[in-house]
Amino acid sequence: MNSAAYDSVSWSCRCYVVVTSHKTKVKVRCADGVLMGASENLAKTHDFSDLYGFVFDRDPSLILMVSERPVAELVVLPRIFSGSAFALRLSKLGHERCFFQMLFSERYLSAIAPKAGEPARLEINRDVVQAWETFHLHEIESECISEFARGVAEEWQRHNRSSLTIDALHDALAAPNSAVSKLFATQPYKNFDIEDLGHISQTVLSSNTMLEALAQLYPRDPWAQTALPRLAEWRSRRANEKTDSSSIELLSSASDCIDCDPGAQLSVPYALNALARSRIEPTKDICIVMTARNEGLHLLEWLAWHRCMGIRDFFVYSNDNNDGSDALLEALARCGVIKWIRNEGCKSRPQFKAYGHAFSVEPYTLDFRWAAVIDADEFIMLDFDKFDSFSKYLEWQDESSVDAIALNWMFFGPNGHQTWFDELTISRFTSRAPRANQHIKTISRPSRFIHSYCHHSVRFMNKPSRVVNDHRIPVENKRSKNPGISDVAFATNAWINHYYMRSVQEFIWKKARGYGDRLFDRGDLFGGAHALKGRLAKELKNSAVFLEEKGYVQDDRAARRKALVADEVRLLASDPQVKLAYGRVVESSTRGVRSAMELFKSLGSDIIPDELKQQWLSAAGEA
C-alpha cells in the first residue's frame, strides 16, 4: 500500500475510500446526497460521486467524510448532515477493519446488505458493532482526490489546529453557509468551554443576525430553529409588557425530535438554549405541566382543585383525544384558564415530547419559580392546618435553597365503585393505602432543568440537584438507584393524592386508551395491549391489589373541601362553551367506557389470562 500522506500548510493526513463489509465502496448518490454502498461497475452506470475519508495525524481517532463535489446535504439515515462533509469517530479492530461512531451519540454506522445488482444505503442507528458495522479503509494517492474535497480537508485541519473557541464560533456564525462552518456544526458542545457558551448565549438572544445565522448553520436543530428564537422574542416582549401564558398552540410532528433522552443531545444550540434559559429570572409563583388524553371527564374538577389551592397557571398537553376533550380544552384556553398545547404526531412518545417542549422550548414556563409535573389522576395535597395555600408551602420550602421538591404518592382505591357516576373524585374515593408510596412527583425550578421524566426532572449536563421531600429533608434513592423513587416516603406536609384507579370500569377504560410513554396506534382501544403483549396482563395483575383494598384506611381530608371545589367547578362551567363541551365529553366518555368493557371481554388469552380477566370483570360488575 503506497503512502498517501501529503503536506500542506504544515499539516498532514491520509485519505481513504471506505469499503463496506459487503465489498462495496461507499458513494454519494448525487440526486439526494444519500450514502450508498455500490460496486464499481454499478457506480459507473448510476449517478454517484466518490466519498473520501480523511484521517489527520493530529487526531487519528476522527475521520472526516467529504463528498467529491459540493452537495446540499449528506444523508445517513436517520441523520441528515448539512453540507458536503461530516466527521465520525474512528476505531480500529485490527486486520485493517474499523468501525465508525457518531460524535453526538453512541450510534454506529452500518451498511445494509445489497440485493443483487442494486446499491444499498448506509444507516447510523446501530447500538452494537457486528459484521455490517465493520468497514475497511483503502488508502489512495493525493492526486486522486478532487480539488473540492482537498480544499475542505485543508480548511478543516487549519480550523482544528487551534482549540474550539468562542471566536471560532463567531467566525462560523459570520459565514454559516461555508463548508467549514457546516463542519463546525458537527462539533458537540462539550468541546467548548461551558462558561464561554454561557456568555455567547446572552449575545445570541440579543441579536437577530446571530439567531438567523445559527438557524442557517443548524437547519434541522429544533433549538436553533424554534427554541432560541421563541425565547428571544418572549424575553423582549416581557421586558416591555406583561405576557399571558394562556393560549392555544399546535405542537406538530416536526417537533417529534424533542422526545429524546436529554443526555443524547449534544449540539451547540441545545447548550446555548439551556444556558440562556438558566439565566431567566422568574416573576411568578407556580405553574402545573400536565399531559392528558381523553381526560375531559375529570378535567374541570382537577383544575378546580388546584385553583382552590391558589394555582392559576396550567400548561395542558393533549394528544389524540376522541372523547370531546379538544372542544373543552379549547373553550378553557379561550377563557384564559389554561394554555392548551395540542401535541400531534405519531412518531414520538407524547409524554416525553410534551415535557421536552415545556422545559426546553416553551418560554412561558420560565416565568415561574416552580413547575409541577403531574397527571390528571394526581391531586396535590397539603396539610391545610399548617398551610392555607400552596404558595405558603412553597414560601416555607424557599427558606432553604433547593432545586426541586419531591412529593410522594398516596394511593386511593376504587372504594367499591364499579363505574363512573356524576360526583367529585375527592368525595367518591376516600379509601387509601395506609402508607405513602415511595414513587415521587417533582416540583422543580424550570430555569434549572432542561427536560423531565414522569417522576423527576433533568438538569443540563446532568448536574447534581438539591431535591428535598415535603419535610425539607434531602431525598435519597440509594436503594432503587432511580431518582423517581425515594428511599423513604413522607406524606405529612404535602403529597400527591393518586386516584390511580377511580372506579373499576374507568380503570379498564384508562388502560384501553394506551400508554403515554410508548408508541402505537392510539386510535385503537387496547391498541397498546396488542402492540405490547404482556404489559396489560402485568399491570392488571399488579393492580389487582387495589381491588382488595386490604389494610386501607379512610381519609376524607380532600373530601372536606368538596363545597369549595364544587363552587369552582360551577364557576368554570358557567362559560357556555365550557358547559356545552363538558356535556358532550360526558356523553362520549360514557360510550367510551361501555366500548372498552365490551372489547375487554373479547380480549384473547394471549393478551390477558382468562382467570385474571374474570377477576376484573367481576370487580366491574360484568361477570
* Average pLDDT across the chain, whole number: 89
Question: What would the grid cell of residue 101 be?
Answer: 461512531
pLDDT, position 338: 97
Measured between alpha carbons, how far is 177 from 175 in angstroms, rounded to an integer? Answer: 6
Question: In the structure grid, which three cell numbers stand for residue 38, read together?
Answer: 455500490
pLDDT tens digits, 311-346: 999 999 998 898 999 999 999 999 999 999 998 865
What is the C-alpha to C-alpha distance for residues 282 and 10, in angstroms, rounded to an integer? 52
**pLDDT tens by residue, 406-420:** 999 999 999 999 999
pLDDT band at 378 (very low <50, low <70, confident <90, very high): very high
Check residue 125 and give its pLDDT: 92
pLDDT tens across 16-40, in order?
A: 999 999 999 999 999 999 999 998 8
Instruction: Return the minimum-mean-pLDDT range out of 92-101, 236-245, 346-355, 409-418.
Output: 236-245
Residue 514 or 147, more confident: 147
**What's residue 573's pLDDT?**
98
Higher-scoring residue by pLDDT: 253, 311: 311
CA distance 376 to 303: 9
pLDDT of residue 169: 80
d(CA 105, CA 88): 10
Torsion of CA 445, 447, 448, 452, to 10 degrees: 70
Place of cell 489512495: 140
Q: Please choose, from the candidates 130, 120, 167, 137, the residue with its C-alpha nearest in 3D space to the C-alpha of residue 55.
A: 137
The backbone torsions φ and ψ at residue 527, rounded to the nearest 5 degrees and listed phi first, read: -60, -35
* The dihedral sign for the CA sequence 221, 222, 225, 229: negative
Cβ atoms of residues 183 and 157 within 8 Å: no
Say yes or no to pLDDT of 163 above 60: no
Helix (H, G, I), strand (E, B) or coil at 83: coil
Higher pLDDT, 527 or 579: 579
pLDDT at 517 over 70: no
Q: What is the mean pLDDT of residues 294-316?
A: 97
> Could you give the domains of the chain?
13-157 (2.80.10.50), 268-573 (3.90.550)
- Among residues 118, 122, 136, 121, the alpha carbon closest in space to that of 42 is found at 118
How many other CB atoms sit within 10 Å of the CB of residue 261? 12
- Written as one letter, the residue type at 581 is A
Answer whether residue 606 shows pLDDT above 90: no
Q: What is the mean pLDDT of residues 202-222?
A: 92
The Cα–Cα gap between 166 and 169 comes to: 5
> What SS3 state is found at 573?
helix
> In this structure, what C-alpha cell is assigned to residue 215?
438557524
Q: How confident is the model at residue 356 (pLDDT cuts 50, 70, 90)?
A: very high
